[in-house]
Amino acid sequence: MTLLKRFQALGLDCSPVGLCPGPAQSGYFCSSRGMTVLGWEGCGGIHYGRIRGYGDMVFAVNPMPAGNQYIRPLAHSFRDFLRLLLACGSTTALEQMGDWTREQYDAWLRAPENAVTAEGRAVLSRIAAAFRLTPMEDPFAYVKEVQASFDGGRLRYTDEYYDTLGLERPSRGNPGPPARRECPADIVDSTEEE
């Protein structure tokens, strides 16, 4: 049994660490084709998952990113993703690291309002014990390395992605998004009520 299946078999409520249950398919315009959602942050449509063709790599998807990427790799494996979660205490820091400097990341971790709750600590303790995991030693450097070495050229998007962003669809021989994109101001979170 894979680590992911063993993790799912634990039946943990990981909401206190930002990995809430939800649908296995995203439904957001910016999710890659072939993505299986592992969990939801609980706000803004941010979700985490694996993408067919990228092995055990774990990605974050943010429909309203601070930077210019909707999909970012976080970990080479689900094991490393759990170790990152143990080190950071929640998915929030993991998802935002791509836009942060080391100083911003350290400040976020030190801020009292970002302290891991008792419920969060209990979840993290169960994860660490169940899989004999230790926190990632330098999560910031690890995530930055994963993101710097990632080639997203094989990511495949739905027609909705191109329509929403007003982009030309790439040819079938080149399934990745164009290098330059325009982001219209009228994109709305599809979970909001109209």
- Structure token pair of residue 180: 């330059």
Report mean pLDDT in 10-residue bins for the chain, 194 residues: 87 91 72 86 85 93 81 95 96 90 94 94 96 96 95 84 85 52 34 32
Place of tokens 């309002």: 113
Residue 178 confidence (pLDDT): 44
Question: Distance between CA 74 and CA 129 in Å, rounded?
Answer: 22
Residue 42 confidence (pLDDT): 77
Residue 173 confidence (pLDDT): 56
Dihedral angle computed from the Cα positions of residues 148, 149, 153 and 157, in that order, rounded to the nearest 10 degrees: -60
- Structure token pair of residue 13: 């409520």
For the chain, which residues make up each domain, given as ranges?
A: 3-165
- Structure token pair of residue 130: 């169940």
Residue 77 confidence (pLDDT): 96
Residue 103 confidence (pLDDT): 96
Is pTM beyond 0.95 here?
Answer: no
For 116, 161, 179, 190, the CA distances from 155, given in Å and listed in that order, are 33, 12, 12, 22
Question: Distance between CA 115 and CA 59 in Å, rounded?
Answer: 24
CA-closest candidate to residue 94, choices 130, 134, 131, 46: 46
Question: Distance between CA 36 and CA 24 in Å, rounded?
Answer: 6
